[in-house]
Amino acid sequence: MLETIDLQQVLVLDIETVSQKANYTELPDNFQELWTLKMQNSLNDGQSAADVYPDAGLYAEFGKIICISVGVFHQQHGQTGFRVKSFAHVNEKELLAEFSALLRKQPSNLTLCAHNGKGFDFPYLCKRMLINGVALPRQLDLSGKKPWEISHLDTMELWRFGDFRNAVSLNLMAAVLGIPSPKDDISGKDVFEVYYGENNLGRIRVYCEKDVITTAQILRRLRNEPLITQEAISFAE
């Protein structure tokens, strides 16, 4: 069935997230207490909630989105091309509003694709939009929809083939499918330090775009199609 999907009606995406603040002590008192309660059963001996606060970016209630990269397939000169665009901003509400505006210009049945999208990217986007007062675009609003009416693809779920024993990272999946690794500069665990320590949002944007390209290549391989050539990948301002 995957082969029947029109790739030109697929939007591949990836998000990068960090904690709301650079340090635990910057949180309001009630959120310090709530974070401590959230982490109380997952701390190692000697650890405090403040020690693991950099992990807050994994949770939509305590984190924020700093970059969304998207990519679309297209045909050029008889071959498949892929065009990438990013939304990167220190103001999360503006970033989400711009991304939402993009989706609102697209068909309501546009298919969204991400690696672990159903477990992370899609719900995180929905929660942060609601928190920021940004109305959910139709492609993300699942309310009242039947499962077969939801146009979401998750490359990690596709790779499982019904096996739910463990998750497979984007990097591992790329490696086994013979796709060049996207992790040639930073990895997810470095995003907190690059954002708050280096103040280098541009570096995070490049990292996010590489993950989108890799996800698109994985989708091609899952369809038994050749990889997109480097020359056929372009970037929008």
Distance CA 14, CA 164 (A): 22
Residue 190 tokens, joined: 């470095």
pLDDT of the residue at 76: 81
Q: Region 66-71: what's the mean pLDDT?
A: 98
User: For all residues of the chain together, what is the average pLDDT?
Assistant: 94
pLDDT of the residue at 182: 63
Domains, the chain, ordered by start:
2-15+69-235 (3.30.420.10), 21-61 (no CATH)
pLDDT of the residue at 183: 65
pLDDT of the residue at 46: 84
pLDDT digits (tens, 9 = 90+) for 17-49: 999 999 999 999 999 999 999 999 888 888 999
Q: Region 61-89: what's the mean pLDDT?
A: 95
Q: Region 57-67: what's the mean pLDDT?
A: 98
What is the CA 233 to chain-centroid distance, rounded? 19
Residues contacting 164, CB < 8 A, separation 6+: none
Distance CA 36, CA 63 (A): 15
pLDDT of the residue at 147: 84
Instruction: Give the CA angle between residues 138, 108, 83 to the nearest 5°.
Output: 105
pLDDT of the residue at 45: 83
pLDDT digits (tens, 9 = 90+) for 167-195: 899 999 999 999 987 667 788 889 999 99
pLDDT at 63 over 70: yes
Confidence category of residue 135, pLDDT binned at 50, 70, 90: very high
What is the CA 94 to chain-centroid distance, rounded? 17
In a 13 Å sphere around the CA of 159, the CA atoms on its Cβ side amount to 23
Distance CA 14, CA 186 (A): 15
Classified as helix, coil or strand, 14 is strand
Strand partners, 152: 112
As a whole-number percent, the residues of the chain with pLDDT over 70 amount to 99
pLDDT at 9 over 90: yes
Instruction: Give the CA angle between residues 54, 95, 82 to the nearest 5°.
Output: 100
pLDDT of the residue at 218: 97
Which ranges constitute the DSSP H helices of 40-186? 92-104, 122-131, 155-160, 170-176
0.85 surpassed by pTM: yes
Which residue did the predictor score with more confidence, 143 or 106? 106
Distance CA 62, CA 72 (A): 30
